[in-house]
Chain A
Amino acid sequence: MPPFLSMTKANLLMTVRNRTALFWNLVFPAIFILIFGTIFSSDQVAIDVGIVGPESAWKAETIAVMEESEAFTVFVDGGADEELSELEEGNRDAVVVFPEIDAATNAPATVYYDEAGGPFGQISVGAVQQVLAGTALGDQQVPIETVAVSGTDFSYMDFFLPGIIAMSLMNSGVIGLSTAFVSYRERGILRRIRVTPFPLTSFISSRIVSQLIVAVPQSLILIGLASLFFDLHIRGDPLLIGVVIVVGALAFLAIGFALSSVARNVESAASYANLITFPMLFLSGVFFSIDNAPAWLQPITRVLPLRFLVDALRETMTRGNGLDAIWMDLVVLLGTFAVGLTIAVRFFKWESRPR
């Protein structure tokens, strides 16, 4: 067997046999899926939409579409003030105010939603916008049936799962790779490899390749689990989702690798890794939307790689959007990969005690 293939095979064997890694990469996110899924899926998800404004073809069409779909519960009887206060009290997920003039003049409809309403508010807005886009022309040119998302409902899991997949990719990259490499260094395995004809670059890329190979079934298992127990719809192109998963995994592997070069020992690598992953977990919209975070926090959340991965996964998996919606996310993730790798190579050490 060629050296690279043999090393990759050995890495895969080690990953599968490593119970700790298995826990963090699979069991831990699975527990999250089960707990959060159970808690939030219990109330049957329907988006409560208040619709107000003067009558128009657009409005009528929208109401018709929404009433037809199980995803929406439509409230049409209230006035604007009434509905908006319902929204404030949390009884509506979104309120659509139609314009005074007919839709043909391109006057916009306004969608109100509760910022504090958490992830569901965002989903609601997305869903409502899809419907509005579909009904905007209201005639033969854009048949309502062709609007992909309008007839489907978003479950909590649709929103939650991409975040959990992103989390598990982050953990296996940042925590898994960094501690593994530091322990290789501490135990002299890097030096042992160094005295063989197998180049270090091959050793490192073999590890990265094997983690990428693991990332795909890892995501598939989580998807399978979520769809088995909960209401899950994946709308995007599987190939594109796969690309997002691989690119995301690469970015976090590079961060983990950079950490391993900087950290002195396994303990410090683990604490750095936690220091990086933990805040990211809460500031990247995995569990709740960060749109309502204080203004000073917003710029910080906008540089967190996890946020871009979560975003890219939700755009594709949940909303079924294409490359045009996520190319920026992919660029940022690839940039993270490049920066991480540069730091890793720059500070690489063969042995744990510099002398």
Chain B
Amino acid sequence: MSIHRTSLRIERLGRLTYLAGGVILLHGDSKTRGTTTSGSQVSPNVAIGEPLIVADSLRKRYESTVAVDGVDLTVYAGEIFGILGPNGAGKTTTLEMMEGLREPDDGTITIAGFDTRTNTRAIQQIIGVQLQSTALFDYLTAIELLRLFGHLYRIPDAQNTTDRLLQMVGLEDKRDSTVSQLSGGQQQRLSVALGLVNSPVVAFLDEPTTGLDPGARRTMWDTIRGIRDAGTTVVLTTHYMEEAETLCDRVAIMDSGRIIALDTPESLVLALDAATTIQATVVAEQFDARAIEQLSGVVASSASEGNIKIQSTDAQATIVGLLDLSNRSGWQLSQLRTRVPTLEDVFLSQTGRTFQPDNDDEDEAAPRKPRRSFRRSRGS
């Protein structure tokens, strides 16, 4: 199938793009956070921008279903890497193979040079994990849990580390609250904080914002950016388009166990070469549809009952031309709006299906699967 070749091509492209993107990333850090990211914080072995996780032709099958079907990807130190896809696409399975929770049927993964099959203990020391289920002990307070998990990594009770983590996830005033006293969002943030007690080289976050309200989701995004700024590479899964676009430095879009596209969100959209849609309402005595078609950048246009819809590859030129045209012709333009292509369009163009995100009910959110059916991998 041609899709597989395509993904390989895009990945190679992605690596080149990333090197350019890395500069932007560092620039962005100092602007938004006022901190500088130093390579030494990541790991003595892996400097910012160097490959940290290398997954090679991963395959995983559960009984009759193929969950992951030949995934290659490289995560570079210092980035927020997103795995985007509908439920059942194989995101969680891919993540769990990296975490060492599942053994691939085929293929290899190395993290900071350690093989996940043979160097399990070494990897456990340097990774941080937040699972889809918050997986917290009841009856323990936030601070007790953080200390306990610190001890599991043989980290001595350093008061400032646990307090800094609580601050990082915005739970400093919930220090002595037990898990059952925390809201779902707070539990999720505590769960993320627990994944950071060992100052991991890479943090794996499995759908960190699923089930959160929009406000809590944005708080989580800030938290995740903070993690990255503190020198920890982040690999996360999501089924929210918006999250992938605004939060992730690079995104792998998965569907039916394969990566169908992998790049920075901007490059993915650009590579689509998709037209921007310009819409407006026109009140005109004499309306000339052909004049619109002749504006520069226009690929296609339609007009009905004063509503015009233009597909343009050069939105700026088309809008300037449209304003000029309506001035000259005495049209009254209103409700001028544009819609730029998004990852949604990328998914659509790759699969021929629309993505159905923003639905937390997992069974309903599972997309129709024309090629193959997958069981949902919740809690896994």
A345 interface residue (CB < 8 Å to B) = no
Q: Given A10-B144, A353-B380, A355-B63: A195 and B133 within 8 A (CB)? A: no
Contact call A195/B100, Cβ cutoff below 8 A: yes
Contact call B152/A196, Cβ cutoff below 8 A: yes
Q: Name the one of A3, A191, A197 contacting B135, with C-beta atoms under 8 angstroms.
A: A191
Contact call B152/A195, Cβ cutoff below 8 A: no
Contact call A6/B139, Cβ cutoff below 8 A: no
A228 interface residue (CB < 8 Å to B) = no
Dominant SS at the B interface? loop
Task: Report the nearest B residue to A350, measured CB to CB.
Answer: B101
Contact call B124/A195, Cβ cutoff below 8 A: yes
Q: Which residues of B contact A3 (CB under 8 A)?
A: 151-152, 154
Contact call B139/A13, Cβ cutoff below 8 A: yes
Q: Which residues of A contact B178 (CB under 8 A)?
A: 17
- Give A334 Cβ to nearest chain B Cβ, in Å: 30
A295 interface residue (CB < 8 Å to B) = no
A-facing mask of B135-159, CB < 8 A → 1, else 0? 1111110001001110111100100
Q: Which residues of B contact A2 (CB under 8 A)?
A: 151, 154
Chain A interface bracket (under 10, 10 to 19, 20 to 34, 35 or more): 20 to 34
For chain A, residues 258 to 294, give those with C-beta under 8 angstroms from any C-beta of chain B: none
Contact call B377/A355, Cβ cutoff below 8 A: yes
For chain A, residues 1 to 43, give those with C-beta under 8 angstroms from any C-beta of chain B: 1-3, 5-7, 10, 13-14, 17-18
Contact call A197/B139, Cβ cutoff below 8 A: no
Contact call B101/A196, Cβ cutoff below 8 A: no
Task: Report the nearest B residue to A15, measured CB to CB.
Answer: B139
B218 interface residue (CB < 8 Å to A) = no
**By the criterion of a CB under 8 Å from any partner CB, how many residues of chain B are at the interface?**
35
A194 interface residue (CB < 8 Å to B) = yes
B282 interface residue (CB < 8 Å to A) = no
Task: Report the nearest A residue to B154, measured CB to CB.
Answer: A3
Q: Which residues of A contact B131 (CB under 8 A)?
A: 188, 191-192
Q: Which residues of B contact A353 (CB under 8 A)?
A: 379-380
Task: Report the nearest B residue to A203, measured CB to CB.
Answer: B152
Contact call B139/A192, Cβ cutoff below 8 A: no
Q: Given A6-B148, A14-B139: A196 and B379 within 8 A (CB)? A: no
Q: Given A188-B379, A355-B375: A17 and B149 within 8 A (CB)? A: no
How long is the Cα–Cα vector from A353 to B376 in the complex, in angstroms?
11
For chain B, residues 101 to 154, give those with C-beta under 8 angstroms from any C-beta of chain A: 101, 121, 124-125, 127, 129, 131-140, 144, 147-149, 151-154
A321 interface residue (CB < 8 Å to B) = no
How long is the Cα–Cα vector from A18 to B144 in the complex, in angstroms?
16
Q: Name the one of B129, B132, B134, B140 contacting A195, with C-beta atoms under 8 angstroms.
A: B129
A351 interface residue (CB < 8 Å to B) = yes
- Give A337 Cβ to nearest chain B Cβ, in Å: 26
How long is the Cα–Cα vector from A310 to B346 in the complex, in angstroms?
70
- Give B21 Cβ to nearest chain A Cβ, in Å: 29
Q: Given A6-B151, A10-B148, A13-B144: A188 and B139 within 8 A (CB)? A: no
Q: Name the one of B63, B125, B147, B148 contacting A197, with C-beta atoms under 8 angstroms.
A: B125
- Give A207 Cβ to nearest chain B Cβ, in Å: 11
Contact call B132/A198, Cβ cutoff below 8 A: no
Q: Given A14-B140, A196-B124, A197-B153: A7 and B148 within 8 A (CB)? A: yes
A73 interface residue (CB < 8 Å to B) = no
Contact call A351/B380, Cβ cutoff below 8 A: yes
Task: Report the nearest A residue to B63, measured CB to CB.
Answer: A355
A187 interface residue (CB < 8 Å to B) = yes
For chain A, residues 179 to 219, give those with C-beta under 8 angstroms from any C-beta of chain B: 187-189, 191-198
- Give A355 Cβ to nearest chain B Cβ, in Å: 4
Since A10-B148, A189-B137, A198-B152 are in contact, a sample of 13 more A-B pairs with Cβ atoms closer than 8 Å, ordered by chain A residue number, is A3-B152, A6-B147, A14-B139, A17-B139, A187-B134, A188-B132, A191-B131, A195-B99, A197-B152, A351-B380, A352-B379, A355-B375, A355-B377
Pairs A–B under 8 Å by Cβ, sample size 6: A14-B140, A187-B136, A188-B134, A193-B152, A352-B379, A355-B375
> A-B pairs with the 3 shortest C-beta distances?
A6-B151, A188-B133, A188-B135
